Copies of this chain bind each other. A is one copy, B any other.
């Protein structure tokens, strides 16, 4: 069983803002979005969490180890430094999809994403310290087998990108439907998934599914931990094993039982 704490991050009324009073320069919007994401990565990441950019105006964070007060501070800091504000909704579940479902619902109950008067909502609860364990999170780090040799150095960049993108689109849908797990493209040929209690066989199934469906070959390292950084770093090391040995799936079930970072 996993116990994933997920935060749904939503920029308040962002769509309308981008075209008011008339469409804003695209490069400024891109700069704003990617810097906000970078800031959240640092603010959440320095407490052991992960943020995924997903749609940029809506982001998904894995926040085991962060309290609601931590969220409030991050929300205030963004409000002080950006022309837009953001709402945060925190929830927990035995699968990441379930946790996110609750988080999104809490936000939807507070109003529409394009409601002018709904600003800086902060809803939900963090896992009580006493219920946290070193196995709360399971994270998988996928990449494409020999992406540089097979694609980057051979095809034009867009055709490489098409391959990666088709692989990602298939994996993210399948992992969600079959395993209630949330997969995010993180650049290059890398995909990081926040997973339910999948076992090695499940990962082999996911990799096989993508290979069959869109002919993109993945490998994956899997780790566990009390916070995203811990599980994610174990997954990275496990993926290094795949790269070294040619294994398709490498899982590292050891846990440190280390206290999560303060």
Which A residues have a C-beta under 8 Å from some C-beta of B?
8, 10, 14-15, 19, 22-35, 37-39, 41-46, 50-51, 53-58, 60, 67, 69-70, 73-74, 76-77, 80-83, 97, 100-101, 103-105, 108, 112-114, 148, 152-162, 164-166, 168-169, 172-173, 176, 182, 186-189, 192, 229, 232-233, 236-237, 240, 261-262
Contact = CB atoms under 8 A, between A and B. Distances in A.
A108 B153 contact: yes
- Could you tell me the dominant secondary structure of chain A's interface residues? helix
B27 A50 contact: yes
A82 B70 CA distance: 23
Given A30-B41, A100-B156, A25 B76 contact: yes
Contacts of A60: 157-158
A70 B76 CA distance: 22
Contacts of A44: 27
Contacts of A83: 80-83
Contacts of A237: 22-23
A38 B32 CA distance: 8
B164 A172 contact: no
Nearest to A152: B113
Contacts of A113: 148, 152-153
A26 B157 contact: no
A188 B14 contact: yes
Nearest to A187: B56
Nearest to A112: B153
B14 A261 contact: no
Contact of A56 (B51, B188, B192): B188
Contacts of A112: 148, 153
